[in-house]
Amino acid sequence: MESWNDPRLTKQMAFLVEADKLKNVLRRTLLTDGSRRENSAEHSWHIGLLALTLHEYAAEPKPDLGHAIRLLLVHDLVEIDAGDTFAYDEQGYSDKEEREKAAARRIFGLLPDDQTDSYLALWREFEEGRTPEALFANAVDRLHPLLNNFATEGYSWKQNGVLRSQVRARMQPIRDAAPKLAAFVDELLQRAVDRGFLADRPQPEGG
Amino acid sequence: MESWNDPRLTKQMAFLVEADKLKNVLRRTLLTDGSRRENSAEHSWHIGLLALTLHEYAAEPKPDLGHAIRLLLVHDLVEIDAGDTFAYDEQGYSDKEEREKAAARRIFGLLPDDQTDSYLALWREFEEGRTPEALFANAVDRLHPLLNNFATEGYSWKQNGVLRSQVRARMQPIRDAAPKLAAFVDELLQRAVDRGFLADRPQPEGG
Ligand SMILES: [Ca+2]
């Protein structure tokens, strides 16, 4: 690690350079043009933009937008160590919490102590999903891959044999945090099923 | 464009899907691991994280962090049409303003009218760089590529024959917006010159 004159700035810069690795963490979804897999850093930017653009649909009590975006900027950093766990991967989910906790300690631990604490608090707030900001942030985080999947004719749904019922269950946070967006989700999923992007029931094996 | 039941949401979703294209706009800098060029979407995320992490160094009057991050999330979207103009490309800069204005009108014009206006206002505020938030946002936007260039032994400086004097001039917004970060910049540039990552300026005029 490069050491600078100011010890506090040295730690902050080490953290900011480490964060660069999130650009190499690939998600299951493709970009909407289908050209390549999306990485978690550009996803984090995009959900910030979703939060900004769709904030009017957040349920009461209205989340503070600035704080919701802070949660979104920070919450995926743990994937640098823990990787992106696919939403419908039950095995991956069994130890997800432990892996991400260790990652959060290491990565946010690069910062000066007071910031380690505040970033860990942001990360935990998002994970616990109880504050209005965390509820709304979770909602846009779940909504985002639907746009990619719809645009790419269900690429990651098909790749992984995901069913509409699973997607609907995964979108539950949207129902609570932004009911109007939940109606949009239902409309999108219906079209996805109608067009053959998403299976409504398990496909017969061996066809 | 996909049309949904709700006309307002149709426009918002068209904008959010269009925004995906920022992930295909490549900058001159490499990722810090040197593996590939950085794209403008992941850069936009990273400068949001810089703003969050380095906000304590912002000069008085302290910028509102949430608003500064909103400026950062939005300001690069014009590059979808206008491309990323390299900071030290004087030719590219001659028509940058016109190209970006047209881009802003088209891209933010996808949104419902009230949001077209507010996103155009955010974009202009960043470009004009007069509010405390715009000053600070510009500062972190300029600081970011220094970290990439330092980590990659001056890759885009060398590729483009950039001199320390040019980089220092480009970093002027940091001097005004966050003097303590300006001291860090000077330290980094000195090391870059010492290690041969960056060419020092020739003897100044009159010498
Ligand atoms: Ca920029």
Which residues neighbour A7 within 8 Å (Cβ) at sequence distance 6 or greater?
none
Residue A178 belongs to some domain of the structure: yes
Q: How far is CA B158 from CA B27, B36, B85, B185, B199, in A?
A: 15, 16, 17, 18, 8
Q: Express each pLDDT in B9-21 by its tens digit.
A: 999 999 999 999 9
pLDDT of residue A205: 61
Contact B20 A50 (CB under 8 A): no
The enclosing domain of A11 has a CATH number of 1.10.3210.10
Residues 68-87 of A with CB under 8 A from B: 69-70, 73-74
Q: Express each pLDDT in A21-41 by its tens digit.
A: 999 999 999 999 999 999 999
What value does the mean pLDDT take over residues A155-176? Answer: 95
Residue B60: CB atoms within 10 Å: 6
Query: What's the domain count of chain B?
Result: 1
Q: How far is CA A151 from CA A145, B11, B14, B17, B20, in A?
A: 10, 16, 11, 9, 11
Q: Which one-letter DSSP state was computed for residue B4?
A: -
Contact B42 A38 (CB under 8 A): no
pLDDT of residue B112: 98
Contact A67 B64 (CB under 8 A): no
Asked if residue A46 has pLDDT above 70, the reply is yes
Residue B132: CB atoms within 10 Å: 17
pLDDT of residue B192: 98
Mean per-residue pLDDT of chain A: 95
Residue A171 belongs to some domain of the structure: yes
pLDDT of residue B107: 98
Residue B141 belongs to some domain of the structure: yes
Find the domain containing B15 and state its range: 7-147
Beta bridge partners of A163: A199
pLDDT of residue B204: 52
Give CA torsion, residues A181, B125, A41, A68, to 10 deg: -50
What value does the mean pLDDT take over residues A171-185? Answer: 96
Asked if residue B91 has pLDDT above 80, the reply is no
Contact B35 A24 (CB under 8 A): yes
Mean per-residue pLDDT of chain B: 94
CB A185 within 8 A of CB A143: yes
Interchain CB contact of A32 with B (< 8 Å)? yes
Of A143-157, B89-103, B180-194, the range with the lowest mean pLDDT is: B89-103
A31 is written with which tokens?
């970009």
Which residues neighbour A204 within 8 Å (Cβ) at sequence distance 6 or greater?
none
Task: Sort out which chain A residues have CB atoms less than 8 A from B111's CB and list them.
Answer: 53
Interchain CB contact of B190 with A (< 8 Å)? no
Q: Express each pLDDT in A55-107 by its tens digit.
A: 999 999 999 999 999 999 999 999 999 988 877 777 777 788 889 999 999 99
pLDDT of residue B70: 98
Asked if residue B74 has pLDDT above 70, the reply is yes
B98 is written with which tokens?
């016109």
pLDDT of residue B207: 41
Give CA torsion, residues B40, B42, B45, B51, to 10 deg: -70
Residue A60 belongs to some domain of the structure: yes
**A122 to chain B: nearest residue by CA?**
B52
Beta bridge partners of B199: B163
Residue B50 belongs to some domain of the structure: yes
Residue B128 belongs to some domain of the structure: yes
What value does the mean pLDDT take over residues B135-160? Answer: 97
CB A78 within 8 A of CB A104: yes
Residue A199 belongs to some domain of the structure: no
Interchain CB contact of B16 with A (< 8 Å)? yes
Asked if residue A203 has pLDDT above 80, the reply is no
Q: Is the dihedral of CA B116, B119, B122, B125 positive or negative?
A: negative
Which residues neighbour A161 within 8 Å (Cβ) at sequence distance 6 or greater?
A199, A202, A203
pLDDT of residue A51: 98
CA B199 – CA B195 distance, rounded (Å)? 10
Q: How far is CA A1 from CA A15, A65, A105, in A?
A: 10, 35, 18
Percent of chain A clearing pLDDT 70 (strictly above)? 98
Residue B35 belongs to some domain of the structure: yes
pLDDT of residue B97: 87
Q: Express each pLDDT in B175-192 by its tens digit.
A: 999 999 999 999 999 999
Interface confidence: ipTM more than 0.90: yes
What value does the mean pLDDT take over residues A113-139? Answer: 98
**Which run of H or of E encompasses B39?**
strand B37-39
Residue A28 phi/psi, 5-degree rounding, is -80, -25
Band (B203; pLDDT cuts 50, 70, 90): very low
Residue A29 phi/psi, 5-degree rounding, is -80, 155
CA B1 – CA B19 distance, rounded (Å)? 14
